[in-house]
Amino acid sequence: MIDTDLEPVTIKKPLKTYLTPDSTPRRSALTVAGYCLLALALLYTLYFAKSLLIPIVVALFFSLLLSPLVTLFKRFYIPRAVSAILLLTMIGGPVTILAIELAGPSQKWLSELPQLSAHLTEELDDISLAMSPEVASVKVKSLPPKEKSSGLFGFFSSDAEPEAAQEQVIQEPITPGKSALSARVMQGGIEIIVSLLGRAPVVIAQFITFIILVLFLLIFGPGLYNNYLLIFPSGADKRRSVDLVGKVQKELSRYIITISIINMGLGMVTAGVFWFMGVNDALLWGALVALLNFAPFVGPIIAIAILSLAGISQYGMELVALIPAGVFFGINLLEAQFITPAVLGRHMRVNPLILIIWLLIWGWLWGPMGVLLAVPLFVCIKLATGQLTKMAPWVALIETSD
């Protein structure tokens, strides 16, 4: 007899059939939210710890650049401490001499910044006065004597101007905002000077920290790295770590040295042309454009603005005042379009849109120093991600220029 009262067999469904259809999207959304929170936390840390992180990052760059030379001296039985101090002295000596030479012109321009701001405001008031048909009052101003200038190529000379103070009658409309505008511009120039002087102790402390970190990284860094390779990675990971550090060190050193030579040449050519043109403080402007050129796109724009103000200060509100900025624009265009691409080649090619966004981010995080460090940081990240197979499409996207 066959028992027909058997209980029906229930077949259990796989676990995935009990999942809701939107469980995978929820998991993806949580992952994206986690990455966003991590990115915000990283930005928060970079912003509020910049006074600590800036000297550390700069010291790491310098140690990567100088470490091969210290290793080379070690082969000739020269201690690391001696070679590190010697290299820093060789680099810091010319920089110190240049800083001493530029201290006088820089201090002069800082002291003249409020007067320059007031002068520009008066010029703008004169322009608005010329455009305004209503004149309500007359003022008599005593103008101070102007310094004699050789002018541009000997032209536009101010020798014909009398040295004594002149009485000039200027008709001015009664505008309540005029005095407020002049006072605000003057206050802005003074605030810039006070801000620079207030940051001086922090800059000095960061500089001392940078020197100490570079010395310790050059002396004890290689030994610590070798011990790390012996203790932690093994097999393929160890070879990958050695190859990655070696390639980053080689390419970063090549980039920094090449860009430094190009920018020094740009500064020397600019200073020489300005000296031939008769522009005041030509050496200061050459050093300034060389330093600002480390920040692509942003640096030359700032240099053109500063040179325009310098031209206005020397030649007045005339068209000739824009010639120094125009000359630098031509020199920089030649360097950026022909010299730098020919020297660096395609290996350092970066999409301009990605680069300008990167510069803006680091400028917001770390200010002017962040703009100067943005490109070396980008080169390091690009070289590191280039060693990962999964990141190859992103590296190809970064290198696109069309």
- Kindly compute the dihedral angle of the four CA atoms of residues 91, 97, 101, 107, in this order, to the nearest 10 degrees: 70
Cα–Cα–Cα angle for 373, 375, 378, rounded to 5 degrees:
110
The Cα 194–Cα 75 span in angstroms is 50
Say how far apart CA 331 and CA 351 lie, in whole Å: 23
Per-residue pLDDT of the chain (402 residues; tens, 9 = 90+): 445 454 554 545 454 444 455 556 666 777 878 888 888 888 889 888 888 888 899 898 888 888 888 888 888 888 988 998 998 888 888 888 877 877 777 777 767 666 666 666 666 666 656 665 444 444 444 444 544 454 555 444 544 444 444 444 444 444 444 445 555 555 555 565 566 566 667 778 888 888 899 999 989 888 888 888 778 766 666 777 777 777 777 777 888 888 889 999 999 999 999 999 998 888 989 999 998 888 888 889 999 988 988 888 888 778 888 899 999 999 999 988 888 877 776 556 777 888 888 888 998 898 888 888 888 888 888 877 776 667 777 777 887 766
Q: Residue 100 corresponds to which tokens in the numbers above?
A: 């001493």
> Given this model, what pLDDT does residue 379 score?
81
Nearest to 248 by CA among 56, 84, 377, 397: 377
What are all long-range contacts of 116-124, with beta carbons under 8 Å and residues at least 24 apart? 116/189, 116/309, 116/312, 116/313, 117/185, 117/186, 117/188, 117/189, 118/182, 118/185, 118/186, 118/189, 119/313, 120/185, 120/309, 120/312, 121/181, 121/182, 121/185, 121/186, 122/182, 123/317
Please list the residues that pair with 166 across neighbouring strands: 143
Residue 110 near residue 193, CB atoms below 8 Å? yes
Question: Is the whole model's pTM more than 0.75, yes or no?
Answer: no
At position 384, the amino acid (one-letter code) is A
- Number of residues that this document lists for the chain: 402
Asked if residue 288 lies in contact with residue 230, where contact means CB atoms within 8 angstroms, the answer is no
CB 313 within 8 A of CB 322: no
Q: Coil, strand, or helix at residue 172?
A: strand
Report the pLDDT value the prediction gives residue 158, as an integer from 0 to 100. Answer: 46
Among the listed residues 92, 67, 61, the one whose alpha carbon sits nearest the alpha carbon of residue 80: 67
Phi/psi at 161 (5° precision): -80, 135
3-class secondary structure, 402: coil
